[in-house]
Structure 1
Amino acid sequence: MPNNVCQQLNIRHAKLEDAMDVLRWRNDPIVCAMSRQNEPISEAAHMSWYSGVLDNSERLLLIGVLNKKKVGAVRFDYVRESTWEVNIAIAPELRGQGLGRKLLKLALTTFYVDHASESVSAVVRLNNEPSLKLFSALGFKQESHSGEFSNLVLTVSH
């Protein structure tokens, strides 16, 4: 993706009207296959979860926007003292264009504005090469692995 296009990528806090986009990205067959929960999520279950996410201080959901089009979401979940887990989903039709790296980098910058002393981890399936490569490119290192998943931690200073 040309740099001038990447520079137009912005990030913002999720809104209620983003709910169906987030559900569509989450229920994409590739995302389901790479998730800890492999089954698609029903609209009713998603809407119940989503409305709770928007008002939860232990969660941060960000939406990437490129030329007024929503392109993906990054979610941070508080998991334990000073540690948050990050998840990313890119619109299926836009994968492979370099948006994931730019979106995750913007999301981390936004996250650290309010959470400067917190650490960020990611749990990635061992066979999810694109995600492993993405997180590695941004400084995440494998801390451990269990079963089918690698536990990664961001080791660079921010």
Structure 2
Amino acid sequence: MINDVQLRQASIQDAEQLLAWRNDELTRLSSHTQDLIEVAQHQVWLERSLKNTNRKLVIAVYQDEDIGSLRADYDRKKQAWELSWTLAPNYRGRGLAKEMVLVFANSIKDAICAEVKETNLASVRVAEYAGLTFTHQQHQVLFFSRSELCTSQD
């Protein structure tokens, strides 16, 4: 299945779809920021994201359908890319999040890390499947990395 998941650069044309995925109730409950995002706020965020050289923002595609988004933000302090992902609600439960995050992680040759809420067991499995190792827990957040560089406990 991994060969079936492709990545493409996100564009401004993805704004409506990205916002719908982001504002999905289960997605919000799994996020650090759980508020509903307004259209204008999202548009500004997306425009800035697309121009930010320290951010990678891609759309995962499976069988010619957009199935989710992935983001990596470069953290200078950790010297690593911090991953974040969202699977489209109608594709949950098929193992596709694991595949899309693995493809994305493999596309980044530098150190990577991710933060996952301890209650988000699906994302814990996704992080592990993508080759990230649990390093520590802080409050209700689990920290994963693919490099010793990411293990600093701030």
Q: Tell me the TM-score normalized by structure 2.
A: 0.89
Give yes or no for the alignment of 1:20 onto 2:16. yes
CA contact (8 A) 2:102 2:129 kept: no
Q: Which residue of 1 aligns with 2:72?
A: 76
Q: Which residue of 1 aligns with 2:99?
A: 102
What letter corresponds to residue 116 of structure 2 in structure 1? V
Q: Which residue of 1 aligns with 2:45?
A: 49
Q: Which residue of 1 aligns with 2:152?
A: none
Q: Distance in 2 between matches of 1:151 and 1:71?
A: 25
> Which of 24, 29, 36 in structure 2 is aligned with 1:33?
29
- Cα deviation for residue 101 of structure 1 reads 1.2
Q: Secondary structure at the match of 1:108?
A: helix
Moved over 2 A (4+): 6-9
- Cα deviation for residue 92 of structure 1 reads 0.3
Q: Which residue of 1 aligns with 2:151?
A: none
Q: Secondary structure at the match of 1:75?
A: strand
- Cα deviation for residue 105 of structure 1 reads 1.4
Q: What are structure 2's unaligned runs of at least 5 residues?
A: 149-154
- Cα deviation for residue 126 of structure 1 reads 0.4
> Which of 100, 107, 111 in structure 2 is aligned with 1:119?
111
Instruction: Report how many aligned residue pairs link the two structures.
Output: 147
Q: What are structure 1's unaligned runs of at least 5 residues?
A: none
The sequence identity of aligned pairs, in percent, is: 26
Q: Tell me the TM-score normalized by structure 1.
A: 0.87
Computed over aligned residues only, the root mean square deviation of the Cα atoms, in angstroms, reads 1.6
